[in-house]
Chain A
Amino acid sequence: MTGRNGDRIKLATVWLGGCSGCHMSFLDLDEWLFELAMFADVVFTPLVDIKEYPEHVDAVLVEGAVANEDNLEFIRLVRERSKWLISFGDCAVTGNVTALRNPLGDPLTILERSYIELADVNPRLPDEPDILPPLLDRVEPLHRVVHVDAYIPGCPPPADRIRKSLEAIRDGRLPKLEGQDIQFG
């Protein structure tokens, strides 16, 4: 079995500022993952060790909000190299838990509170240039930064909601969820 045009679909999943719960839910597809393997090649995902995001990806599910400079740079590359970019889970769709820092002020205030004021031992700000990416001023949902083609809300989205979306992609359609399938949380 292949995609609608007889070609195998090049599918990717990406993990930005999230907890990986959406990817755990993706694994909850259980035996349907075998069906997925019949029509799609998973060409990039944190679940396997691929270093570089490939060109000409048909659809990518992006988990997590845009929280730091690495996220920002990477999501722009992902957008450029993918036909359909799909917001995957509440952090990507709304900012959700990742964005809880936003009302508290700028990143430095939050880092000082977390790593200095509340530190029991060795209070110091995390600072490893080129290893730890600097936080952005504000955590943003994906569609505030790049064009998003479809949304899969949920924290995490249940496996059957992910399956419905992947079945739409298999059939050459953008997922358009409605009813209880668009419930946040």
Chain B
Amino acid sequence: MMLAAVLLLLALVLPGLPLGQWRAFALDTAQFAFLISGLALAWDLLARTGQLSLAHGAFFGLGAYAAALSAPALGTVPALLVGGAVAALFSLLLGLATLRLHGMYFAIATLAFSEVMRTLVLKAQFTGGSIGLPVQPAFGGAYPLGGYYLAVAVLVICTVTSLLLSRSRLHYAMAATRQGEAVARVLGVPVVRVKLVTFMISAFLAGLAGGVYAMKTLFLSPYDAFGLGRAVEALVIPIFGGLYTTTGPLLGGLIIVSLETWLRLRIGEGYLVVYGVVLVLTILFLPKGLMSLFARRKGARHA
């Protein structure tokens, strides 16, 4: 909790820090890291109900396309909200059809959903199809730091939502659903409704992050927006940082995206080797992610 607050505070003041010539680069990297961390936090919310989603890359893409298409008519902030709402609407439809499935069956169904979305966007005329879609910058480019603070805002919203949910009655229903769905149902937990509500909140946040991403990259293609890579990123980060926590995906996202960018700069094409070794070592020695380090320290202090 304290670590999350420090990280968010750092994100807010980053543009004012004396970073010298690295300022613009750091802000660009940080902006992408915030958005991917937001996506990871959104994914983790659903994971708390025990569901392994491979659709979050598609929600990110849907939010990106919806925001990009509506921004010229609605303006930046309403367009981002539309992006989140469209992602949530699709999650409702998908959830109604698939949330009774478990484990790998649900994962495969969500993967199929991503493929269907990619194909639809690819074939549709209004999305630019395979040619791609140019996107307006946030606030028409009027504020140089506008896009950056939108990314910070998305990260804050995702973090606060995650914290609020972890302190709510829904949290207990989510945990009970994950730990034993049949038992939870017997105890009166409306399991499918819990999963559906969480799925929609989670998709809304992913769509919001996708909208800001689109306004940063200025161009969307179905391949980039709906690629499996983003869905994998969304689940690798919480596993690396620490599942079912708020600080874990937040910390994991910031470290993984920054590490990847830094490694690419330093060792070029060899970066994947180091990146892969870091991930494997983390999973081997910290199966509960980076957050287990803090838990151990806290445990040692209490002993």
Q: Do A and B come from one complex?
A: no
A residues near B, CB below 8 A? Answer: none
B residues near A, CB below 8 A? Answer: none
